[in-house]
Structure 1
Amino acid sequence: MVFAGTTVVNGNCVCLVTDTGMSTEIGRVHSQIQEASQHEEDTPLKKKLNEFGEALTMIIGLICALVWLINVKYFLSWEYVDGWSRNFKFSFEKCTYYFEIAVALAVAAIP
């Protein structure tokens, strides 16, 4: 019996084809490999890296939110009149500027 892909260097032979395609031994091996790859579980290293990535994302998000909240005083202001907050002033340009800084910090921290 000769398998497909067998290298013959010299000689004569008469062969009878019994199976083709996925019915051959190589086809069966291929289907077993494909089936095994579909049921593959994550390795312990991959699980740890996923956990670390999720934790790092949360920490970076919190730091960026904190940076933006620290700078609220620059784009939101008010005055106290008779003990009450009055005359709120909001600067959209400064708000977006400090938001861009927070996003830039997140982009710089992720790689």
Structure 2
Amino acid sequence: MLQRAKELSRKNPDSSNYLLNEVMVRFETLPDSIKAQYLSIRGNYHFFSSQYDSALWYYKQNLSGIYIDSDQIKAKMANNIGIIYNYTGKQDSAYKYLSLAYQLKKKWMIHQ
């Protein structure tokens, strides 16, 4: 269901939102890795719906490592956050998060 929601987030956000709401009903019972996926896809839904503040909240939850502590996922989230800040004209914040994404990606590549 999450994979389908991810595929739809760009082309058909309403359908993506419907599927994400179905997952949200069972959120607390899901494994942490699925919770992390959910946060990422929910952030994507908000991003493609131009709801940047909401997208930032979901991406930052994943960046915090609350559900999964993976440098690879954190790098993706930091990159997404940097892109949003760039879109919204907050260049200093964009630079901060894009630099963090680069550092996390480097760290992940070394330990792979």
TM range (shorter): under 0.3
The two structures have a TM-score, normalised by structure 1, of 0.27
Which structure's residues are more often strand, by fraction?
1
The two structures have a TM-score, normalised by structure 2, of 0.27
Which structure's residues are more often helix, by fraction?
2
Structure showing greater radius of gyration is 1
